[in-house]
Amino acid sequence: MPELPEVEVVRAGLAPAVTGATILGVEVFEPRSLKRHDPVAGAFDTLLTGRVMQGPVRRGKFLWIPLEGTPRRAIVAHLGMSGQILLREPGTAEAGLLRIRLHIQAAPSGESGERAELWVHFVDQRIFGSMAVDALVPTADGAHGGFGTDEALIPTQVSHIARDPLDPAFDDSRFAAALARKNTGIKRALLDQTLVSGIGNIYADEALWAARIHYAQPANSLSRAKVRTLLAEVRHVLEKALAEGGTSFDAQYVNVNGASGYFSHSLNAYGRQGEPCPRCGTPIVREQFMNRGSHFCPHCQRLRTSRPA
């Protein structure tokens, strides 16, 4: 599933094209891709046609594009397991599984004031992702909604999602206090999007490896110093992945132009089972975890039975 770096790469790629653009028309080829859209508020295409888009915003793995005017609404996109948002020239044939198409006219550019037309394609093989039009509501903490906006507004569908560690409004002390109350394993806590957002299986494994913490270590057994170390490593791995365009294992994880990221070449633990740990040489182990796998070094990441000082 795309995690914070992959979704942020998409947000940054969309921003120049959609900010200030007008939606000329909407085509829905797969109604299941609107499963999170509430038809009581209005038909998806009717709510969008003629509206002007603002700069795209991201919180965790969620992406939304605010719409100008009232009532305040936004297009909310979740990529699910295999969703892609692609920018295409009009008339481009889509080789993938096209679910939704937005016809947009970009904001005027240059002295000529030309307004180029583009297609925004939502492609999704497994149909776990979705698009919806949702109301914008004030953020609980009064800070900006997410990356890409100064407005303290957030879609109702995203309002329960916690801030991510790269968000300037993320509260380290509040996060540490929340971990101290959790007896669950630390990886399970990192994957809890209501506690901290944007971290999935790949980056949890990588950050825990870097911090030398076993994935099943009880969250409330970590010292404040160890939590600070973990947060530093989470931020480091997310920032490095962002710089490398995210992690692409196949053609499903691409940016808006269809290009793959290359952070997979920098992984130290995830997907490296049987290979030597880059730090100590012990073979990396993969264990079953929450219907997926956890990758760790059994020497560097030992399960501690007592709280460290």
Q: How far apart are CA 282 and CA 212, in angstroms?
A: 13
Give the count of alpha carbons within 13 A of 148, CB side only: 26
Q: What is the mean pLDDT of the chain?
A: 90
What is the value of pTM for the model shown?
0.88
Task: Kindly indicate the confidence band of residue 204, based on its pLDDT and cuts at 50, 70 and 90.
Answer: very high
Residue 114 DSSP SS3: strand
Evaluate if residue 188 carries a pLDDT over 80: yes
Residue 287's DSSP bridge partners are: 294
Point out the catalytic residue in the list 2, 66, 155, 218.
Answer: 2
Task: Kindly indicate the confidence band of residue 92, based on its pLDDT and cuts at 50, 70 and 90.
Answer: confident
Q: How far apart are CA 169 and CA 197, in angstroms?
A: 13
Q: Quick one: DSSP state of residue 21?
A: -
* Domain regions of the chain by residue span: 4-158, 172-296
- In the chain, which ranges are E strands? 22-28, 57-59, 62-67, 73-78, 83-88, 98-105, 117-124, 130-138, 153-155, 285-289, 292-296
**Would you call 3 a catalytic residue per the annotation?**
yes
Pick the closest to residue 89 from 103, 108, 75 (CA basis): 103
Q: How far apart are CA 269 and CA 271, in angstroms?
A: 6
Task: Kindly indicate the confidence band of residue 249, based on its pLDDT and cuts at 50, 70 and 90.
Answer: very low
Tell whether omega for the bond before 276 is within 30 degrees of 0, i.e. cis.
Answer: no
Point out the catalytic residue in the list 11, 61, 73, 163.
Answer: 61
Point out the catalytic residue in the list 32, 35, 292, 307.
Answer: 292
Class of domain 172-296: mainly alpha
Q: How far apart are CA 67 and CA 44, in angstroms?
A: 13
**Would you call 155 a catalytic residue per the annotation?**
no
Q: What is the pLDDT of residue 262?
A: 42
Q: What is the pLDDT of residue 113?
A: 67
What mean pLDDT comes out for the span 42-54? Answer: 97
Q: Which fold has domain 4-158?
A: N-terminal domain of MutM-like DNA repair proteins (3.20.190)
